[in-house]
Amino acid sequence: MHRPAALRHDRPRLTRTGFSLIELAGALVVVALLVVLVLPRFRAYERRVHRAVVVQALRDVAARENAYWRAVGTYTADTNALMAPRSSGITVRIVRADSLGWSARATHRGDAVVCAIAYGAAPMLRPATRHNVIGCGA
């Protein structure tokens, strides 16, 4: 049954613009869940990259120490004498060097990654566990 037009109260329909609080809360939960799942993987990836950069810095020092030894007949603890390039965020410290061997430790400023190497008769540095092999920890 239809009402006559004069009796009908035609109200304009309210159109909804925007999102409800429930929809916004749901979207926030989804984003938070994605962050919780992705962040640890990103940190692990970042740590692997930092470790690779530190290992490469020690490999570069090893090559330069060998070239220095061939030229001079001894190893050096002076990174300037090795003409080693400075890497942003990487600190390489040659702990000991003489005619029988050398040892060095490298760290990354943005991470707790520490790598070390001992070559020849130089004393072992932690986290390296074998001579002539780069070892990394933390």
Contact 108, 54 (CB under 8 A): yes
pLDDT digits (tens, 9 = 90+) for 24-40: 899 999 999 988 888 88
Is the peptide bond preceding residue 85 cis, with omega within 30 degrees of 0?
no
pLDDT exceeding 90 applies to what percent of the chain? 33
Prediction pTM value? 0.71
So what's the pLDDT on residue 1? 56
pLDDT band at 88 (very low <50, low <70, confident <90, very high): confident
CA distance 57 to 4: 88
pLDDT band at 84 (very low <50, low <70, confident <90, very high): confident
So what's the pLDDT on residue 7? 58
- Neighbouring residues of 66: CB distance < 8 A, sequence distance ≥ 6: none
Average pLDDT over residues 121-138: 86
CA distance 35 to 30: 9
CA distance 13 to 88: 63
Alpha-carbon separation of residue 101 from 11, 84, 89, 112, 122 (angstroms)? 92, 18, 26, 27, 5
Burial of 12 (0-12, 13-18, 19+ CB in 10 A): exposed
So what's the pLDDT on residue 13? 66
Is residue 15's pLDDT more than 80?
no
